[in-house]
């Protein structure tokens, strides 16, 4: 059983890696000519770099040994030749850097910056590799023993690099995960800032943030330590390479097995590939980072919804609209239950307001109904049908969702209202808009329903956006409604308009609202207080106040 599982895991990993590589290649699409041009230029740069010490050596041993006249006669041509060579090198280098960046920028617009960085370095990596291999071939023709010693030192360098990199890879990956943990914490508390305040839960939020931030800092320190050890070791090895050449070269010269000019050539070639080695080592470092980042990026893209329709899933048939949560348990992460033994019934057509401290589990409770997540134990039913046994399509068609942050995309107001119902007629759109009280502010806009909104369009207020979202749901006309009330302050007029349009929308539909406003709470047929992932109190506003429990406490803190 165990071996079977690990074999499966290995297969999955292999398939994943192959997928990663293919995804990576796909970003080169349409850039082939640039890529070829870049490669040729990079090879030319490497060739010229390689040729220079060799030319000097030939000169020292041949021409320069022949006396002043011979030298003067050739020097002009030599100078012209060398200048031409370096002009070509300049042009190639320019091409590599300029077009390399342009290509990178084009790729970047399609994927991640880190990978662009890795790509950019690939060019230098190519130059470096050619230079190192070329140097060894040329040096081999000059002096075999010395070249072999250099090769040994270089192999040791590469081995060191591999070992250090394996360590760094682990640390970098961990680091990425930690920072995303911190980011989601920050987003969480920014969104919920007002709720956090109103429920006096600042200390809890602060402690949560501090924990994930500490973990991040800790892994960052380890990352820098790994980097420090790595780079210091490389500097030592490079120094060692120089010492080896000087000592061993001196010894060979003393024994008459090598000329001084040859030792100078060796020294020139070493300085030639100090940079490439640096580049290669830096590259592996950047590459590790990039792969860690890219893997996460692809992971997000490929994220399969875990939730699948049951093989025998049926269409949901809503007759009454009765919702029932029964002994529901749920955890985002194993071992950290968020919802525990939650029981909740919403009668057909009624509005239930969920209240309670931030992080208590209100949003989670709501997201279990359309099956954004699946319960771990217990069940949720709509008119007696378990949500896990119906098709997700029919389930989500039956549920209208108005979220706190309304997202408007680039397009007209009419298009935004018709989102999800592209076949809606202009009359239907207008009717939905009137019911949601969108009509009244749209009429004041010069372009009316054709006004462009979204990132690049007219800015609408939070209340106006929520009314557009409500209009969307009017058009969708689902029997069940989930409304996550905005926590941010709307101006009074806007708030009243949202309130009224929501009340109209809720009419005749079973509604669960995450309520932050007193008016919403008072309008609800019933209220459930959710604390620590379970229903701690339930009743009407008056009943709960009379009970003088949790609800009464929060109510007084928030509204009095």
Interface residue list for ligand ADP (CB under 6 A): 332, 338, 356, 358-364
Shortest Å, Cβ 360 to ligand ADP = 4
Q: Nearer to ligand ADP by C-beta: 143 or 363? A: 363
Q: Nearer to ligand ADP by C-beta: 245 or 402? A: 402
Shortest Å, Cβ 513 to ligand ADP = 12
CA distance 502 to 398: 17
Q: Which residues contact 475 (CB under 8 A, 6 or more apart)?
A: 417, 418, 420, 421, 424, 428, 429, 432
Shortest Å, Cβ 500 to ligand ADP = 25
Q: Nearer to ligand ADP by C-beta: 93 or 178? A: 178
**Which segments of 312-411 does DSSP mark as H helices, in order?**
362-368, 392-398
Shortest Å, Cβ 553 to ligand ADP = 16
Shortest Å, Cβ 311 to ligand ADP = 28
Q: Nearer to ligand ADP by C-beta: 464 or 531? A: 531
Q: Nearer to ligand ADP by C-beta: 203 or 455? A: 203
Q: Nearer to ligand ADP by C-beta: 296 or 389? A: 296
Q: Nearer to ligand ADP by C-beta: 249 or 361? A: 361
CA distance 232 to 535: 58
Shortest Å, Cβ 430 to ligand ADP = 35
Shortest Å, Cβ 338 to ligand ADP = 4
Nearest Cα residue to 55 out of 250, 260, 261: 261
Q: Nearer to ligand ADP by C-beta: 1 or 207? A: 207
424: left (phi over 0), alpha (psi -120 to 50) or beta: beta
Phi, psi for 287 (deg, rounded to 5) = -60, -40
CA neighbours closer than 13 Å in the CB half-sphere of residue 311: 0
Q: Nearer to ligand ADP by C-beta: 121 or 362? A: 362
328 and 339 Cβ atoms separated by less than 8 Å: yes
Query: Angle between the 68-108 and 113-142 helix axes, to the nearest 10 degrees?
Result: 150
Segment holding 281, helix H or strand E: helix 260-302
CA angle 11, 15, 18 (to 5 degrees): 140
Shortest Å, Cβ 196 to ligand ADP = 9
CA distance 388 to 396: 12
Tokens (6 digits) for 288: 């590790």
527 and 544 Cβ atoms separated by less than 8 Å: yes
Shortest Å, Cβ 101 to ligand ADP = 38
283 and 118 Cβ atoms separated by less than 8 Å: yes
Phi, psi for 101 (deg, rounded to 5) = -70, -40
């Amino acid at each position: 059983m165990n071996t079977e599982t690990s074999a499966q895991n290995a297969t999955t990993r292999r398939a994943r890696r192959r997928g990663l590589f293919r995804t990576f290649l796909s970003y080169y699409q349409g850039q082939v000519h640039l890529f070829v041009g870049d490669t040729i230029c990079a090879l030319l740069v490497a060739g010229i770099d390689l040729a220079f010490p060799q030319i000097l050596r030939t000169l020292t041993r041949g021409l320069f040994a022949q006396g002043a006249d011979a030298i003067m006669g050739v020097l002009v041509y030599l100078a012209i030749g060398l200048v031409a060579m370096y002009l070509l090198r300049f042009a190639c280098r320019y091409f590599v850097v300029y077009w390399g960046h342009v290509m990178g920028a084009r790729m970047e617009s399609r994927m991640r910056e880190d990978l662009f960085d890795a790509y950019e370095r690939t060019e230098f990596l190519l130059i470096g590799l050619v230079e190192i291999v070329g140097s060894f071939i040329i040096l081999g023709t000059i002096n075999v023993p010395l070249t072999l010693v250099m090769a040994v030192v270089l192999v040791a360098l590469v081995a060191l690099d591999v070992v250090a990199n394996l360590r760094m890879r682990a640390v970098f990956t961990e680091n990425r995960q930690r920072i995303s943990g911190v980011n989601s914490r920050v987003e969480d508390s920014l969104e919920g800032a007002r709720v956090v305040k109103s429920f006096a839960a600042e200390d809890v939020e602060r402690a949560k943030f501090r924990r994930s931030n500490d973990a991040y800092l800790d892994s960052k320190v380890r990352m820098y330590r790994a980097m420090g050890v790595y780079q210091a070791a490389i500097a030592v090895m490079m120094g060692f390479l120089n010492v080896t050449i000087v000592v061993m070269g001196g010894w060979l010269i003393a024994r008459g097995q090598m000329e001084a000019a040859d030792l100078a050539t060796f020294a020139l070639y070493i300085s030639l590939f100090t940079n490439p080695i640096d580049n290669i080592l830096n590259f592996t470092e950047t590459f590790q980072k990039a792969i860690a980042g890219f893997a996460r990026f692809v992971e997000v893209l490929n994220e399969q919804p875990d939730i699948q329709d049951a093989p025998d899933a049926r269409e949901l048939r809503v007759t009454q609209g009765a919702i029932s949560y029964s002994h529901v348990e749920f955890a985002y992460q194993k071992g950290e239950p968020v919802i525990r033994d939650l029981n909740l019934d919403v009668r057909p057509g009624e509005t239930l307001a969920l209240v309670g401290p931030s992080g208590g589990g209100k949003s989670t409770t709501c997201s279990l109904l359309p099956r954004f997540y699946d319960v771990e134990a217990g069940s949720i039913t709509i008119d007696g049908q378990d949500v896990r046994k119906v098709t997700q399509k029919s389930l989500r068609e039956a549920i209208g969702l108005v979220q706190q942050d309304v997202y408007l995309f680039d397009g007209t107001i009419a298009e935004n209202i018709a989102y999800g119902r592209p076949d809606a007629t202009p009359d239907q759109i207008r009717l939905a808009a009137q019911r949601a009280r969108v009509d009244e502010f749209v009429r004041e806009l010069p372009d009316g329903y054709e006004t462009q909104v979204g990132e690049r369009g007219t800015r609408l207020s939070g209340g106006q956006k929520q009314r557009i979202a409500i209009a969307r749901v009017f058009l969708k006309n689902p029997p069940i409604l989930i409304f996550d009330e905005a926590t941010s302050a709307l101006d009074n007029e806007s708030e009243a308009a949202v309130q009224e349009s929501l009340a109209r929308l809720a009419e005749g539909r079973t509604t669960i609202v995450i309520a932050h406003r007193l008016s919403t709470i008072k309008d609800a047929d019933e209220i459930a207080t959710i604390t620590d992932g379970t229903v701690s109190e339930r009743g009407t506003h008056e009943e709960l106040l009379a009970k003088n429990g949790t609800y009464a406490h929060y109510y007084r803190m928030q509204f009095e």
